[in-house]
Structures are given as C-alpha cells and as structure tokens.
Amino acid sequence: MKTYEGKSVFGGVAIGKVLVYKKGEQQVKRYRVSDTKAEIERFEGAKAEAVEQLKELYAKAVKEVGEASAAIFEIHQMMLEDLDYLDSIHNMIETQEVNAEYAVATTSDNFAMMFSSMDDAYMKERAADVKDVSERILAILSGGAKSTVATDEPSIIVADDLAPSETVQLDKDKVLAFVTVHGSSNSHTAILARTMGIPALIGTPVDLESVDGKMAVVDGYTGTFYVDPDEETMKTMEEKRRKDLEQKELLQNLKGKENITLDGKKINVYANIGNIKDLAMVLQNDAGGIGLFRSEFIYLEKEDYPTEEEQFKIYRAVAETMAGKKVIIRTLDIGADKQASYFNMEHEENPALGYRAIRICLTRPEIFKTQLRALFRASAYGNISIMYPMIISVDEVKKIKQIVEEVKAELTSQEIAFGDVEQGIMIETPAAVMVSEALAKEVDFFSIGTNDLTQYTLAIDRQNPKLEEFYDPHHPAVLNMIRMTVENAHKAGIWAGICGELGADPELTKLFLSIGVDELSVSPSRVLSVRKTILETDVEKERDEQIKKWL
C-alpha cells in the first residue's frame, strides 16, 4: 500500500480504480503565412466557435452546479474578448507573419506567465484560465475537439491538473473522486468540485504512471490518498464511506424544509462566507441567507485599497445571486491576525486589543465611506444588511450612524438608488454585552461573534496553541453573556443571532434554542446538520434541562 497526503477541497470517501487522465497535448509548430488577413480571419472563426462551446458549457454548468459556479465559463468568454489578449495574437500574426496556432500558444504562455508572477492568489489562478481558453482555440484550429474525461466504469480520476471546463464535463455517475498533483483551493476547479459534491484532493504528490488502473481510496476528510490499500485499511474506509453516505442521504432529505422546532419555533439558519466563491456552497446546502460575509477578505486579496466600484460589483453579485434572501455584510474587520501591508499599521504589542475593525473605520473615515457607499449602492439589487464589528459603546454606534447619514445624503444628491438597509452590530466584547440593553435601542439586530467573545471573556489568545487546554468556549461565563445579549435584544424588540463557531456546535444548539436565539449562521456545510437538530428539538420541554446543564 502507498499513502499520499494532499489537500482536501471537498470531503467524502471514494473507493474504486484509478483512471489517470492525460491532456491531449497540442503540438504547435511555427510556420510562415503569406496572407495574414486570412490567417486572422481563421483565428476569429475559431474564437467564435470557442465562444459557442463555452455558452453550451455554461448552460450545462448552470443546470448541474448553479449560476455562481457556472460563471467561470462566462469569464472564459470575456477572456476571448479581452483586447490585450486579442491584440497580442493579431499583432503577432501581422508583424511576424506566423500561423494562428503559434500566435495563440505564444500569447497563452506570455499571459499565463504574467498572471503566475502576481502575488494575489486569485490572479495566479487566472493563469490556468488563460491556458484553458487558449487550448480550446488550438483544438479548434487543429480540427480536433478539446480533451474530455471519459470512463466506462466509475473511477477515481487522477491528473496533473484539471481545467474548469474539463471538470464540469465529468460524468458524475462515472467519477468517484478526483486527485490532482497541482491546483489550489482558490481555483475554479476546486469550487466546482465542492459544488458538485465530488471528493477531491489537490497538491497530491502522485506518480501518475505508477497508479493507473490500481485500486485506491480517497479520504476527502483527512486529505489522504491510499493506492493498493491493505485489507485493514479497506475495511476501515468502507465503513467510513458507509456512514458518510448514510449521513449525507439523511441530510439531503432536509433540503427545502423550514427550520421549525417540534413546538413551532422558527429559527433562521444562514451561512458564513469569506468570499464570493463560497456562494455555490451556500446555495447547495440550502442556507436561508448569508449571516456573515467577511468583507475584509476583499481587502486582504488586494495590493491596494479596493475601489468603491470594485466593492460594489462584488456586493451586488452576492445580493443578486441570493435572490432576495438576507445578506449580512460585515464592514472591514482588519487588524489583529488579519493584516494588509498597504494599511501601513504600526507594530502593536497586543494587536488583538489594538487598532482594528471599527476603530480603523472611525479614525479613517475615507476608507469607511468608500465601503459604505458600495454597500448602499448594492442594496438596490437585493436584501443587504450591514453589520459593524468590535463595538464597545453607544457613542461608537452614534458616530457610525452619523457617517451613514452623510453617505445616504451624498447618494441621494447624486440620484443613486439604494435600498432600505438593516443595520446591526457584532457583540464580541464583554463591554458590548454589559451595555447591550442600551445598544439594542440604537440598532436593528445583534449578531454574537463567539470567537472573539470567548477570547476576550476568558482572557485567552485563541491563536496561541499553548493555551488550547485552557480555552473553553463552553465556559458558563461565555454562555451567560450570550443569554444576556439575547434577552436585551428581545427587550428592545430586535433579533439576535450567533455567527461565531459556536453557532455550529452540535452540543449547544439546543441551549441556544432554549435561550431564544433567533438565528444561527454557520459554515455552509453545517447548515443541514443544524437544521436536523432544530427539527428534532422541543424547546418548551427541553428548556429547563438545557439551562440547568449549561448555565
């Protein structure tokens, strides 16, 4: 038995034979052409055919994986209309008098090299996209079809890498999992794999020649790839797969059902996301909305401050994709363990207690206003709510509201539409809990960030592995603070939810229902398991027992 460790991009267990997928390499030769105009027309014809193929792939992907994940094929179409890309090919054909295949291949290599050299992880992934669209054109120019993955029996596909168009063409009934030597969790291929529900590993150092046709196991939970597994491993993995499939099947039956307890209390179950790329998982897992969109990742992925327009496009896309469902976007929460060099922040001895989140926004209002303008503009396209992090006082909320009114006045004077936006705050400091009765009169909702609330309540750095044995998120002090926050929210007639890790803690779900939590926002993959607990709980019967057990 040989064991390889990779990085999981989707969980699950797959057992079957390996089929090594090798790309049909395009052998591109350079030759001189006398009629450059005709050669450019030949290229344009191939490009038009590639666009038609991509439209068909988009339609197929929409049906199978949803609009959010299918968008990659629209991006590929846009790449084929990119003026820089086209100018390079046209110019090469005209000035060097070379064939279209050579011009496309060379341009592809140049653009891929440019993207690969960028620091931004997302932009690095565009190198693969350029290669993918270029290979499609080359296949058309050479009279062949672009490579596809085909197998007669269900197999584990192993490859050096897979392009998005190759992934979406997989026959899901015949593909048990895929394992790639290269690739990254930021790639569109990884997103598609997660959305399609296929166990997948990337960055797995497999010798392709040695595994073809062999029996293997992919453990998407641990990131392990077993080739020629021994009897004991096979038995363990078969049992793990059986339990996994059983659990997934049970949860799938919960799709479309409302989150209502046995005694009739409705709970909103939303999803936490850090990137627009996570939307597919939100939709796949039937979340009622987005309870936390971590907008700081827009800043962390950039080398300079994102513009109003850049942010607006992202917020608008999220709002439109969620089609009227609530989307709660947290304003910039940078600082502490999330640093962006261009903010030029000074070194701090204790950044977790330092210059971060709303403190940056209130002291650098130009950054804050840019984000607020983008958020309010996007609110005209869906159900957007705004949430402010790291609040410790009523004065802070009043300052925020003043800036918001200035932004709304600016937009109104410019005749820019915006919606009716709910505004709430994160309760993640003991100070906010202690003045939550007063805070509740100033906002539309509370969302309890249990990660920081636990850290600050217990005076324990949650990033420090040496303190792990002391870090107790079930501590009665933390749980009582959650209860106090919920009670004060309800007293003022607003709702209160939880968006920290505790929201998905199966041990505490019934307690949260018992103390009146209105909403739980969890990672997309946990939505259905939380729904299961809600549907099985009788709050009235279990309230006293839960409160006695935990508080």
Helices (H), 170-293: 188-196, 208-211, 231-252, 279-284
- Cβ neighbours of residue 450 closer than 8 Å, sequence gap 6 or more: 428, 473, 478, 482, 498, 499, 500, 501, 502, 503
- Residues paired with 156 in a beta bridge: 18, 177
Closest by CA to 328, choosing from 443, 462, 227, 414, is: 443
Say whether pLDDT at 224 is over 70. yes
499 part of the active site: yes
CB atoms within 10 A of CB 106: 18
Contact 335, 356 (CB under 8 A): yes
How many Å apart are CA 280 and CA 415, to the nearest integer? 34
Query: CA dist 299 to 133, 162, 274, 288, Å?
Result: 29, 29, 11, 26
- For residue 8, give both structure tokens: 């999981």
- Over residues 262-271, the pLDDT tens digits come to 999 999 999 9
User: If you average pLDDT over each of 124-133, 162-171, 339-348, 395-404, which comes out highest?
Assistant: 395-404
The active-site residue, picked from 76, 90, 188, 361, is: 188
pLDDT band per the 50, 70, 90 thresholds, residue 335: confident
Say what the pLDDT of residue 168 is.
Answer: 64
Q: What is the mean pLDDT of residues 18-37?
A: 82
Say what the pLDDT of residue 149 is.
Answer: 52
pLDDT band per the 50, 70, 90 thresholds, residue 29: confident
CB atoms within 10 A of CB 541: 10
Say whether pLDDT at 404 is over 90. yes
Give the distance from CA 263 to its chain's centroid: 34
Say what the pLDDT of residue 144 is.
Answer: 60
pLDDT mean across residues, the chain: 88
- Over residues 473-491, the pLDDT tens digits come to 899 999 999 999 999 999 9
Q: What is the mean pLDDT of residues 524-546?
A: 93
Q: What is the mean pLDDT of residues 144-165?
A: 71
Beta strands at 155-159 and 224-227: parallel, antiparallel or unpaired: unpaired
- Over residues 100-116, the pLDDT tens digits come to 999 999 999 898 888 87
How many Å apart are CA 412 and CA 213, to the nearest integer? 65
Say what the pLDDT of residue 401 is.
Answer: 97
Closest by CA to 359, choosing from 349, 350, 370, 368, is: 368
The active-site residue, picked from 76, 90, 361, 499, is: 499
* Cα–Cα–Cα angle for 277, 278, 279, rounded to 5 degrees: 95
User: If you average pLDDT over each of 125-139, 196-210, 438-452, which comes out highest?
Assistant: 438-452
Q: Which residue has the tokens 């597994």?
A: 229
Encode 396-413: b = buried (16+ Cβ within 10 Å), e = exposed.
bbeebeeebeebbeebee
Say what the pLDDT of residue 120 is.
Answer: 66
Which helix (H) or strand (E) segment holds residue 2: the answer is strand 2-5
How many Å apart are CA 543 and CA 347, to the nearest integer? 47
Looking at residue 542, its amino acid is: E
Contact 394, 439 (CB under 8 A): yes
